Chains A and B, each alone.
Chain A
């Protein structure tokens, strides 16, 4: 197996390098690589020159310990570790029926995982070491991070193997996690005792003169909590070593823990094949959805009554309906929960920062910030258009629709969602800020400003979406409609694409912007604040005409596109 695995690794690496070298002959690829390297170089230099925002290394170590504790607790109690056992589909096909022992399979997996671990070590050592304010030299720092990541990976694999084994024995539910629950009880008790020991002698006063976080940090260093948490602190303790000698002394226990984990994972001939196959299938599905930016369908229950499609009507309506239905049926509840969570954190932050009219102020500010974010990034995020249909171009081409109608329907789908979101957020933001007394402008001015802004935003959104869809149609290899595994060249490609898109958007916006501004300026004396609406309307119409010309041209290009090459 060693021989075969070595062959697989070396030949794959060699072929990958050869492919990259061949692609470098293409100017497009070389340019993307150049931009990617420049970007990463600037990031690296920025880290070296930036003397601010450094965290104390003890805080990093403390945070790492807590994070590790949370992760380990999650793996043991909830069993969210199955993916740790995943192999690639090719590995399942070739290695599982082959005469290979289970230990050899696990060793293979451990060696293969080093690729990701080494990449992480590289990123931390080159880009984040300075930010952490670590006093360690590059070498010892990289070794510490390698030991840490490897121990975490081995622990996750060990949990997955143990849970697979006890599942084989028919254990389920709480029975499967009783050990972890017992540990959590011990941990909570130890934390309570250590916190009490950090309290003033009377036990009645405030916790301590320091901040709660500092008290917690000190409690972690006080027995019995320090003893219970010792295994979680060991991998990161070398980070805090001020000298090479102390680093070496602290590295010893960390290496011992790593060795212990290796022994734990490899010690028994445990049956893990089925759990591995299940995890591999799940990972392959997740990977497929992630690459295609798909969400898991939430089911037909998301079909709303008002969204039902009548058989009569313009086909563009059917295209928009199809895309909107797809969006509604794939917006996951977890995504909505995450958004609500982010909103709650944002409001919390504003309440803390400005208690007076805090809720309204925070809501208003957040809503308006999001309008700005959506105006810039919305056309990249909302992709229920041609970009989501690039692998179905042959089907789209078979529909009895002109190119203009089809491309318009596709682009309008994203535009409708984007404009609706922006209109809702902008209205809510403006009303909230006015109620909070921050936007002290007369109501007509507020309404006129809002209307003008939304009109201009609609036109800009439409143009931005035309650019994104056009790029996907005309340069499919440049605009990735699927997320592909890639490296520096992808970073460079994305930078270049984003730069060109912004430039095009500015070019398209100049004419209508000037015209709209002129109209608003000329009408200002006669219709006062409503001149903004008139200017916005002229600007939006100008952008709309440009968008129509773009769509017409893209439609004709669509009719002449060979789906097999797109």
Chain B
């Protein structure tokens, strides 16, 4: 569903991402982890078509993002870590606006169901500027899901959510994956990544350090066997000493 080949992104002399290649199949959840400045957000933004790669290719649901951007973008949703909403649109209107942008006719009851799922019922007529941080995050998530994307990209999706919201969000991501959606999830919460993701891509300084399921990564490096993702991450990113309690 997602095919990335040789993705490189330069900002002047700064190399944000270098020669990155990976694939995400339908139903798979790929965890994108790495220290600050590793290139996670740049990778996600490139995959979402927000920024353009310096070189390399990205295919979304069979469409090349550079030559067929509209076909590719129609199949994806990007949910950033900081929700940015229109001050003078209500909760329901945000969802209606997103449906129009993606030219999707909403099946009856879809918006109500989404609002129920994300505990936004009762706030459907509130303006975005009247919502709390957590509510805004839920609305941004709802906007990402309402057009039923085949590729879902989430940047720190749990920021600002309460425990119930976190539980529901995890369930939603897992359910979408079970329905065949390819998910890329970027997070510093390694426990979340370990719990939800089928594979992990570890980045450092824009380069791929490891890619695969935890068992595959350990298989390549027997010295890491028996360790959790956090210890594997620290070890692979050169922070071995931090693993000692």
Contact = CB atoms under 8 A, between A and B. Distances in A.
Given A4-B101, A7-B100, A15 B88 contact: yes
A94 B143 contact: yes
Contact of B70 (A90, A96, A101): A101
B124 to A, nearest CB: 13
B140 A273 contact: no
Most B C-beta atoms less than 10 A away, residue of A89, A90, A93:
A93
Contacts of A1: 101
B89 A8 contact: yes
A3 B90 CA distance: 18
Interface string A186-213: 0000000000000000000000000000
B49 interface: yes
Interface in B37-92: 48-52, 69-71, 73-74, 76-78, 80, 83-90
B98 to A, nearest CB: 7
A94 B97 contact: yes
Contact of A273 (B50, B85, B96): B50
A16 B128 CA distance: 12
Nearest to B50: A96
B156 interface: no
Given A11-B93, A12-B86, A94 B76 contact: no
B102 interface: yes
A1 B74 CA distance: 13
Interface in B135-191: 140, 143
A117 interface: no
A15 B48 contact: no
A89 B73 CA distance: 19
Q: How large is the interface on A (under 10, 10 to 19, 20 to 34, 35 or more residues)?
A: 20 to 34
A277 interface: yes
B196 interface: no
Contacts of A11: 88-90, 93, 97
B205 interface: no
B86 A8 contact: yes
A95 B100 CA distance: 11
A8 B96 CA distance: 10
A299 interface: no
Contacts of B111: none
B234 interface: no
A394 interface: no
A4 B49 contact: no
Nearest to B73: A99
Given A19-B127, A97-B48, A97-B78, A90 B97 contact: no
Contacts of B49: 96-97
A248 B87 CA distance: 41
B89 A97 contact: no
A271 B52 CA distance: 8
A8 to B, nearest CB: 6
B76 A97 contact: yes
Given A93-B140, A274-B52, A99 B84 contact: no
Nearest to B99: A4
Contact of A89 (B84, B96, B103): B84
Contacts of A95: 101
B127 A7 contact: no
A147 B135 CA distance: 43
A89 B87 CA distance: 11
Interface string A1-35: 10110011001110110010000000000000000
A97 B184 CA distance: 15
A4 B101 CA distance: 6
B157 to A, nearest CB: 14
B127 A15 contact: yes
A4 B76 contact: no
A99 B69 contact: yes
B101 A100 contact: yes
Given A95-B101, A97-B49, A100-B101, A90 B85 contact: yes
Contacts of B71: 99
Given A7-B97, A8-B97, A89-B84, A99 B102 contact: yes
B41 to A, nearest CB: 12
Contacts of A89: 84
A97 B52 contact: no
Interface string A79-93: 000000000111011
Contacts of A16: 88
A72 to B, nearest CB: 27
A98 interface: yes
Most A C-beta atoms less than 10 A away, residue of B87, B88, B89, B102:
B88
Interface in B94-129: 96-98, 100-103, 127
A159 to B, nearest CB: 21
A449 B2 CA distance: 81
Given A15-B127, A89-B84, A97 B97 contact: no
A11 B85 CA distance: 14
Contact of A97 (B77, B86, B103): B77
Contacts of B90: 11, 15
Contacts of B50: 92, 96-97, 273, 277
B74 A99 contact: yes
B70 A93 contact: no
Contacts of B70: 99-101
Contact of B101 (A90, A98, A277): A98
A4 B97 CA distance: 6
A4 B98 CA distance: 8
Contact of A92 (B52, B84, B89, B96): B84
Contacts of A273: 50-52
A15 B92 CA distance: 13
Contacts of A8: 86, 89, 97
Nearest to A2: B100
Contacts of A13: 88
B100 A12 contact: no
A119 to B, nearest CB: 17
Interface in B10-53: 48-52
Interface in A135-171: none
B77 A12 contact: no
A12 B73 contact: no
Contacts of B101: 1, 4, 94-95, 98-100
Interface string A260-303: 00000000000101100100000000000000000000000000
27 contacts: A3-B100, A7-B96, A8-B97, A11-B88, A11-B93, A12-B86, A13-B88, A15-B127, A19-B127, A90-B84, A93-B84, A93-B140, A94-B86, A96-B48, A97-B48, A97-B50, A97-B77, A97-B78, A98-B73, A98-B101, A99-B69, A99-B102, A100-B70, A274-B51, A274-B52, A277-B50, A277-B51
Top 10 A-B pairs ranked by shortest CB distance?
A89-B84, A4-B100, A12-B88, A99-B74, A99-B70, A99-B73, A93-B84, A97-B78, A97-B48, A98-B101
Given A13-B88, A89-B84, A98-B73, 15 more contacts: A3-B100, A8-B89, A15-B88, A15-B89, A90-B85, A90-B87, A92-B50, A93-B83, A93-B85, A97-B76, A97-B77, A97-B78, A99-B101, A100-B101, A274-B51
